[in-house]
Amino acid sequence: MATSAVDYFDAGFPGATQTVRITSFHEAKIFARRWVIRDKDPALKALLKHMERANSSATADSAMLQLKQALVCRGMLLRESPPQDATARAQ
The amino acid at residue 10 is D
Residue 62: predicted pLDDT: 92
Any idea where the domains of the chain sit in the sequence? 9-79
Alpha-carbon distance values, 55 to 36, 48, 52, 90 (Å) = 21, 14, 8, 35
What is the mean predicted confidence (pLDDT) over 27-36? 94
| pLDDT digits 0-9 by tens, 33-72 | 999 999 999 999 999 999 999 989 999 999 999 999 999 9
> Between β-strands 9-11 and 20-22, what pairing exists: parallel, antiparallel or unpaired?
antiparallel
pTM here? 0.78
Phi/psi of residue 81, nearest 5 degrees: -65, 150
